Structure 1
Amino acid sequence: MHVTSGLFIFKPIMLTLMTNDINVTKSSVSFISKLPFRVDYGEKFNQYIYPITVHSYTAVFAHVFATIAVDGLYYCLIQHACGMFSIIGYTLENIGKNNDDIFDTKQAKIQDSNYSKTLSCLRKHLLVIEFTERIESLFTKIFLINLNLNMIAGSLTGIQVLMNLEKSAHDVAGPITIYVAQFLHLFLHFWQAQFLLDYSVLPYESICRANWYYASRRCQKLLLLIMNRTTTPCKITAGKIVVLSIESFATVVKTSLSYLTMFRSLQ
């Protein structure tokens, strides 16, 4: 996001520096060319050139920092949930490995260390599942809006790239940068959701690798409860409709390209 905003900001400046126009003055035209996006203040533009310039550049940075803040929170929450699943999986995988063939299957609960570890993992697992459900409820509506806007905006940006292919390179550089940044930003959302899908089934795989047959009957019942819950992986959705994953990202890209083809045919 910072690279994209930097290119978006410095592009008009670099183009201004590279122009061969000898009539470069402090008119409104020269200053408008240095702004990152078009503005229209009428006759007051020349009077407030510098405040308008500062406001334009600040608006770009504010938008980028707001996006990074929301995405950073999302990434941190997902990675924390994945870390908790990893801790639970590591603990469950070591269940029964310190026992031998002559362990007591009817030992008391106080002496049954495997049972205590498994009960603790069960409670933590329920808390992590609740945590992931709250993450999903927090971001599901945002991702639905973001997904639709990215597909439409990506298609329109792609049309802009196609329209400027026959023009100079600086007319294509801007739309291509925005086009790549949009899909990269969307890919990171789907990639983090794929992490959650993979790590949420980690306790099930850990139990399968553990020496559960050396655990007591009460401990095995708890392991079955954990395995039963992990059959449905935790997931992040867009409006409870689309499950975010690498596979669904490929579908989104195909849909966006189909929109691009449709808009191109209507041109």
Structure 2
Amino acid sequence: MLKPIIVSLITDISNTTKSSIPIASRLPFNVEYGEKFNQYIYPIAMHNYMAVFTRSFATIAVDNLYYVLIQHACGMFSIIGNVLENIGKNNANDFNAKSDKIKDNNYNKTLHCLRRHLDVIEFAENIEELFTKIFLINLNLNMICGSLAGVQVLMNLEKNASDISVPIIIYTAQFIHLFLHFWNAQFLLDYSVLPYKSICKIHLQYKLITSERCKKLLLLIMSRTISPCRITAGKVATLSIERFGVENITLLFDSFSSFFASLVLIYK
């Protein structure tokens, strides 16, 4: 949808008038309407933009669902960590460690956090199960489309700037789209260990004055939190900012190196 704007800007910079820009190049993609094309240019343009929007609406809907589910899981981990951080905080030094289970408020809070923690872990595993195959396909398609965009740029180096701008815009959009997937997966990695950090914090700062049964529940939560929840691509690669930097930044530098090497060979 940005193609007509970019083409118009590039053509204006080239010291030409807007009237010299072909009408067909102002549309998102090429269409054939015969001799009446110029007569019905505005309805055709509206149809073009609606087609682009409806084609991308499914991707937008799935991505927004993924972002919302991840943020909900992170919020639940944050709530559990906040509750755990306040357990045993206000207990006195003469606290009875062998009090009745019904009257032990810290035990009841910890038991509730344990149950909610298991529910959130199951929820995160369901998210991973739902999107793991999609991300595997998405990663492979991004690599293929990125390579095709680079080949298209190299083939159109000696032509108009508009022929180069379109594949560069497409590659940039794919790069940002992939980054958002890795970025949200990193949120889940970080927030899923919050309960562990909260328990360690109350143990160090407040010496964890609670009953023995409460401490056993806290150990169960800690043992499960050691392995953080993660989003994977086909159960093969874990999505994280570190993984994104290692793979995609390297691929980007390789693409730029090949691009400049091709420029040198062409001008030689």
User: Partner amino acid for 1:82?
Assistant: C
TM superposition score normalised by structure 1 = 0.83
Q: Is the 8 A contact 1:165 1:172 kept in 2?
A: yes
Residue 8 (structure 1) aligns with: 3
Residue 242 (structure 1) aligns with: 237
Query: Between the two proteins, what is the percent identity of the paired residues?
Result: 60
Deviation digits for residues 135-187 of structure 1, max 9, x if unmatched? Answer: 11111111111111111111221333344445444333322222211101100
Residue 231 (structure 1) aligns with: 226
Give 2:142's match in structure 1, choosing from 143, 147, 150. 150
For structure 2, which runs of at least 5 residues remain unmatched after alignment?
A: none
Residue 198 (structure 1) aligns with: 190
Q: Distance in 2 between matches of 1:35 and 1:224?
A: 61
Q: 1:111 to 1:216 in 2, by over 3 A?
A: same
Q: Is the 8 A contact 1:193 1:245 kept in 2?
A: yes
Count how many residue pairs are aligned between Structure 1 and Structure 2. Answer: 253
Deviation digits for residues 169-225 of structure 1, max 9, x if unmatched? Answer: 433332222221110110000000000001001100100011463010000000010
Deviation digits for residues 96-133 of structure 1, max 9, x if unmatched? Answer: 11102110011001111100100000000000001101
Q: Distance in 1 between matches of 2:168 and 2:126?
A: 36
Q: Distance in 1 between matches of 2:172 and 2:83?
A: 42
Q: Is the 8 A contact 1:78 1:193 kept in 2?
A: yes
Is 2:86 the partner of 1:86? no
Residue 211 (structure 2) aligns with: 216
How far 1:67 sits from its partner (Å)? 2.1
Deviation digits for residues 220-240 of structure 1, max 9, x if unmatched? Answer: 000010001001100001111
For structure 1, which runs of at least 5 residues remain unmatched after alignment?
A: 25-29
Q: Distance in 2 between matches of 1:194 and 1:21?
A: 46
